[in-house]
Structure 1
Amino acid sequence: MPSSDNSKQSRLTSLPAWARSRAALVGVSTVAVLAVAGTTIGYAHMGKTVTLSLDGQTQQVTASGDTVGDVLDAQGIHVDNHDMVAPALGQQVDDGSEISVRFGRPLKLEVDGKQHTYWVNATTVGGALNQIGRSFTGADLSLSRGGSIDRGGLKLDVVTPKKLTVKVGDKKPVRRQLTAVTVADALKQMGVKVDKDDRTSPGKHHEVTDGDRIVFTDVRVVKKQVHGESIGYDTIHRDDSSLAQGKTRVARSGRAGLRNVTYQLVYRNGDLATRKVVSQQVLRDPVDEVVEVGTKAPAPQPTPAPAANYASGGSAWDRIAACESGGNWAANTGNGYYGGLQFNLSTWRAYGGVSRPDLTSREYQISIAEKVRAASGGYGAWPVCGARA
């Protein structure tokens, strides 16, 4: 049985010549239409013109693909979750579409010594600070607000203004608003030079906060050389039993020494605070003075007649004396207690008594007794006779 292709061929061959020419023309036309349609579809798929904005820099590109993501991939542009893309990556792209990409970049912010990192899409310092909601009005910035931030990011140092109380030297404290991180920064802004000897409270590296008080002490250290300075001598006291009590005599005169000396002088706010010897050369040693002090007891005085020491008074002390010694202010019975009020010598001398009670007047004995009474708060030193006071 003949094939179908042969049958078709035989049927065409059997047609008249004019019919065969017309069929051929129709076939050629059909092929041409299909070719034109395919080309049109291809150009429609590849020929989209898109305006692409990258961080505000615009350019027109011929885009391939159907979505924003396709166009960016075709242009070799990679985006991540820190970047802002509009329209969204899955949005359809048409001829004449506009695509905006604002790349994310790290902003390493150090505020008064404390660090924090933000991701921003702004390309200027001012725009980035607005984006994170921190204006830092009045603060010092390490880069101006108009400074640019590239895709690598930026480290920005910020020093905020602080209200501080500052006392410099002996001047009165003043209030200042300063953009300082440390005590040293604050003093520098006030024109105060801090050298190695000066002192600050708190320390110069202390980080200041609003309301802090700073005290600066101007310390000046100098060395002073003195040639031929006198060296003082000491006085030595030596007992002499051959000399009467209360008498003194110079056994050897003192003589000052001489030296060359170097002092370290420390001034605080202009006033001399300390002086210390750092080196010396003794040219002549000092000689101490020797003073002899008499210890020889005086010759005993004749004991006055007892009648002369009887008091004629009616005071509390007279009543106690009447009980203790029968009112004899010169009493000395050999029992270790003396005078009208019967003092022992240790008590008598502890309260400043001189000589011996029985050898002094009634008035003097009463003056010592008053001291005893004041110290003990009453007449308790005379436990029996004191009750008669």
Structure 2
Amino acid sequence: MSKSQFETYDDVGHDASVHTAKTLPYGGRYKDTYRPAYEAEAYFVTEPAPPLPRQATPAPVLPEAGAPPEETEAPGEAEAPAESGGRAARRRRTRCAERPESPMRRLLPQALVVAFLAGGTTAFVAKDKAIELNVDGKQRTLHTFADDVGELLVEEGVRVGAHDVIAPAPGTALASGDEVAVRYGRPVRLTLDGRRHQVWTTAHTVEGALHELGVRAEGAYLSASRSQRIGRAGLALDVRTERAVTVMADGRTRTVRTNAATVREAVEEAGITLRGQDTTSVPPDSFPRDGQTVTVLRVTGTHEVHEEHIPFLVERTEDPSLFTGTEVVSQPGQFGLRRTTYLVRTVNGVRQRPRREKTELVRSPRKQVVRVGTKPRPDSVHGADHLNWRALALCESGGRPDAVDPSGTYGGLYQFDTRTWHSLGGKGRPQDASAEEQTYRAKKLYVRRGASPWPHCGARLTG
């Protein structure tokens, strides 16, 4: 602050600083300026209060250069006429300018500025708030001008998602001393008792996540340690809770508490061993449920093989070299063979229905080819038609055209051997020819050799 703001004048016209002036005794040529408190109001009323700077009387107008100086009205002089009012006003302003400025008049503007600054500072301090902010376990104290929780998080650059927890809610108004907590959500790929789930948790550890999700962990199998921390990226967690499973085997019942992953493991924990083809009433690799009853099936199995013949086809072709009614088998047929394997199981001593496992073709059937004669048969053989051929046939073969002797050498009605048959013009085997053709060949043989080919029955021809 400049010196002029703290200058004053004494009675003799010398200026002296209010901070350096000496204290003078009362009396003498100096007036006593002290006033008691009860006289203070009267003291200040003796002189009108000075106007504010904006309300001050305008400064006097100086005369132009070369103009004659204006006259000054003497004390006690009567006021000038109306036409000289401007001059009288200037004289009054001159007297006011010559009057010494009081200390109160100089300090009033400064007091107003201080009051204005004090009011702004009070409003500034009222908007500032001290807040405890906890972001995912990291706590700090900060000052903010934010009006609500959401504005505070934006101001602090805290980004939140749909699975994050904010307490209090983002729209809640803030006051100094409030606490704001943000807990980030973490994805957990949870497989609980064989069923897969995608869940979110704000817990930092596996144990906290299980508690938050309401999963009973006592006696359960956990794929991760309970104290393992869960990062923002989440983790995969396999949980198998403890269950009661009843196992029935070999006439006995056992109940075990287990967190096994499969029925097979639960059965083994019950002290039962599966051997060979043994199995259970539910798939052994299925997940055992709480309260489930599993029956062990003791299985023994054998294989049975069944063979069956496949019939062959017969193909007939006409042959003009053979007499009508004559059939010759040029290619004998052959049956095919099919082999089927069956599994026969015995479950807990009870034989089950055979189950076909496989079928294979061992041999394919071969068709039979038969030649059928179309040549007209001759009416008779001269010199042999009058003989009793029916009696000879009954003696040799019992009258059966397909008869064959025990040695397989002779066949037919008249027991021809193959060589003799072919010499007479026959085809194939004699027993395969018709009865008419066989009689015709026998007559031709008789014309050549008489009854000698039939030493025992030949006499029947004439008898």
Q: What TM-score do you get using the length of structure 1 for normalisation? A: 0.44
- Look at both structures and tell me which one has the larger radius of gyration over its CA atoms: 2
Q: What TM-score do you get using the length of structure 2 for normalisation? A: 0.38
